Chains A and B, each alone.
Chain A
Amino acid sequence: DVKVTQSSRYLVKRTGEKVFLECVQDMDHENMFWYRQDPGLGLRLIYFSYDVKMKEKGDIPEGYSVSREKKERFSLILESASTNQTSMYLCASSFPIPNEQFFGPGTRLTVL
């Protein structure tokens, strides 16, 4: 059974803290994605990676960075968390040709 896992389901952090969200996939997918989902704004792409050490900015990369040192793992980093980064964060992976994205269960991050 294919799987995308995320390190935490719920996370509470304080303003200014450095936050790491980890995502692991077991499908040998080249592509990995980080989205955030907010009521009324839908799913928005933060960053996308198409290979190890490769990344591209999505629609809302400001305040975020990413790391992909291994094919199966894609990390999202909030260098200095702010309250407007309180959101549901979703990781996904896919093959590079037109194909479906497999999503993880999501991490609900609250920044106080």
Chain B
Amino acid sequence: SQKIEQNSEALNIQEGKTATLTCNYTNYSPAYLQWYRQDPGRGPVFLLLIRENEKEKRKERLKVTFDTTLKQSLFHITASQPADSATYLCALDVDNAGNMLTFGGGTRLMVKP
């Protein structure tokens, strides 16, 4: 069956360190993968999109990698700050047309000052 797995346990790191979150998937062949941030009681906010033919994408302190052989995406936040504390969701396209996404369960990141 199709599955998207993100570490359900919270990730606790010290301010200034790099946070690395993992998204693994099985039985999908996504054309692209997206990452979202969600704060408590709010809707997710889009962060980055990476296509299957891209190995890496950067935006300010954020970096995403996409390995279609390993079926894995890594999401990095460098020089992390307490304001980065949130839940991060990965999402895959399921119809290869950019319409429907399937979301992982999310990983909660806590950055301690």
Contacts and interface: CB of A to CB of B under 8 A. Distances in A.
Interface stretch (A64-72, A74-82, A97-105): A97-105
B31 A98 contact: yes
Interface in B19-74: 31-32, 34, 41-46, 49, 51
Nearest to A4: B43
Interface of A: 4, 31, 33, 40-43, 45, 48, 50, 56, 58-59, 90, 92, 94-106, 108
A90 B89 CA distance: 15
A42 to B, nearest CB: 4
Contact of B99 (A48, A104, A108): A48
A50 B99 contact: yes
Nearest to A92: B43
6 contacts: A33-B100, A42-B89, A45-B102, A98-B32, A102-B46, A106-B42
Given A90-B43, A105-B43, A106-B41, A100 B99 contact: no
B105 A40 contact: yes
Contacts of B42: 105-106
